Structure formats: structure tokens, C-alpha cells
Amino acid sequence: IKALTQKRKGKQKEKILCFKHPTIADDCIDAFNTLGYNVAAQAYPKTGSLPILIAKENPDYLFTINARPDIAEAAKALDIPYFFWTVDTPDYKLHSPSLIHHNIYAFVYDEAVIEKLKPLGFDNIFYMPVAANVSRLNAVSLSQEEENKYLCDLSFIGTLGEKKDR
């Protein structure tokens, strides 16, 4: 595995390995590409060795939506910085001791959660609100019929979190 993670010679762009998620991962991938990163998208493996899968991609960084202790452990073993953006509350995995490491960075949209986790040893935890891909959303056009059907003053899109959505 260590041989696979050696830095590539003549590499032009830093590579981020992004693990897919049904919420905003694709929008994050678009943003990373816009910022000039080389981005590889990967589904969470159902079987097999996570460190070997990561090592084969040879990324400079790992990224997920929400905390993934298994990816944190692989990142520590491979000495690859791992960052995640927590967009769900509660995210019980955020309380995993495996996420406390100098090379793991948490971005959380709830400042109260950050204040609870900092005293537990989370030095690399930062506030970042949930965002939207404005370019993608501005490209959406509705017919007058669709606008009449869906126009409202207030709406909710999401779940109550009672069931796992994976």
C-alpha cells in the first residue's frame, strides 16, 4: 500500500478523492474542479479493503459528506489529509475518537456542535454553513405551468431522519 501512495512525479494538480453521497457531494465535486483540483469520485465500497482502494487512487486528500470513521482510519494509516463537511444533524459518527487527529479536518454547519466537540480534542473543526451550487440552480428553468404548480412561500425538502436514507 505504501508503494501505491508515493507521490507521483511531475504531478500537475492536487487530487481529491471524493466519496459519493446522496446530498451535495456532486456540487462539492463541481466546486473542487472549478478551484483547479483533479477530482475522482468513488462510491463507498461495500466490501474489500478501504486503504487499498484509496491507495490505488493515490489522492492528495480525501473528502466526504458527513464524518466517516472508517475513512479517517484509512487516512491516518496512509498519512493522507481527510476532510469532511457535516451537513446532517445529528451526525453521531462525529463523536468517534478516530476523527481526532492532526490530519483530519471537520467542517460543520452547526456552531453549537463545534463548541461541544472542541473540548474533546477536535482541534481542526471549523464552522461552514451548508451551501448551494448557484450555477447549477440558476440553470434550472420552469415552465409557467410548473411554476404555478410548485410556487409557495415556504417548503421543506428533506427527511425527519427517522430512517436511514442510504
Per-residue pLDDT of 141-162, as tens digits, reads 989 999 999 889 988 877 666 5
- Per-residue pLDDT tens digits for 40-72: 999 988 877 899 999 999 999 999 999 999 999
Can you tell me the distance from the alpha carbon of 13 to that of 72, in angstroms, rounded to the nearest whole number?
23
Q: How many CA atoms lie within 13 A of 141 on its CB side?
A: 2
Read off φ and ψ for residue 154, nearest 5 degrees.
-150, 140
User: Whose CA is closest to 59, among 31, 25, 32, 86?
Assistant: 32
Can you tell me the distance from the alpha carbon of 158 to that of 134, in angstroms, rounded to the nearest whole number?
19
Q: Are strands 61-65 and 15-19 parallel, antiparallel or unpaired?
A: parallel
pTM summary value: 0.81
